[in-house]
Chain A
Amino acid sequence: MDRPIRVLIAKPGLDGHDRGAKVIARALRDAGMEVIYTGIQQTPQMIAEAALQEDVDVIGLSILSGAHMTLLPRIMELLRDHGMDDVLVVAGGIISDEDARILKEQHGIAEVYGPGASTHEIVQFIQERCKTRT
Chain B
Amino acid sequence: MDLAQALLNGNRRALAQALTLVETGGPQARSLLGALFAHTGRAHIIGVTGAPGAGKSTLVAALAAHWRRAGRTVGIIAVDPTSPFTRGAILGDRIRMQALSGDPGVFIRSMASRGRLGGIARATGDAVAVLDAAGFNVVLVETVGAGQGEVEIAAAAHTTMVIETPGAGDDIQAIKAGILEIADLLVVNKADRDGAEQTVRQLRAMLSLADLPADGWTPPVLTAVATRGEGIDAIATAAERHLAYLRESGRFTGREQERARRELRLILQETALERVRARVSPSDWEALIAQIVERRLDPYAAADYVLDRALPRSEE
Could you tell me which A residues sit within 8 Å of B by CB distance? 1, 3-4, 25-26, 28-39, 45-46, 49-50, 52-55, 82-84
Q: What's the dominant secondary structure at chain B's contact region?
A: mixed
Chain A residues touching B, majority SS: mixed
**Inter-subunit contact B86/A1 (CB<8 Å):** no
Q: Is B178 an interface residue (CB 8 A)?
A: no
Measured CB to CB, the residues of B under 8 A from A are: 12-13, 16-17, 19-20, 23-26, 82-83, 86-92, 94-95, 98, 101-102, 107-110, 112, 114
Q: Provide the residues of chain B in CB contact with A31, threshold 8 Å.
A: 86, 88
CA–CA, A53 and B109, complex, Å: 6
CB closest chain-A residue, reference B82:
A34
Chain A residues with Cβ below 8 Å from B91 are: 34-37
Among B13, B24, B101, B102, find the residue whose CB has the most chain A CB atoms closer than 10 A: B101
**Extra A-B contacts (4), CB below 8 Å, given A30-B86, A46-B98:** A35-B91, A37-B92, A52-B16, A53-B16
Residue of B nearest to A5 (CB): B88
What is the CA–CA distance of A31 and B83 in the complex, to the nearest angstrom?
11
Please give me the 6 A-B residue pairs with the lowest Cβ-Cβ distance, nearest first. Answer: A29-B88, A55-B16, A39-B95, A32-B87, A46-B101, A55-B20
In contact, A29 and B86 (Cβ under 8 angstroms): yes
A35 lies within 8 A of B24 (CB)? no
List 27 interface pairs A-B (beta carbons < 8 Å), by A numbering: A4-B87, A4-B89, A4-B114, A29-B83, A29-B89, A30-B83, A31-B86, A31-B88, A34-B88, A34-B91, A35-B89, A35-B90, A35-B91, A36-B91, A36-B92, A37-B90, A37-B94, A37-B95, A38-B94, A39-B98, A45-B102, A46-B101, A52-B13, A53-B108, A54-B110, A55-B20, A83-B13
B12 near A52 with CB under 8 A, answer yes
Residues in A with CB closer than 8 Å to B19 are 55
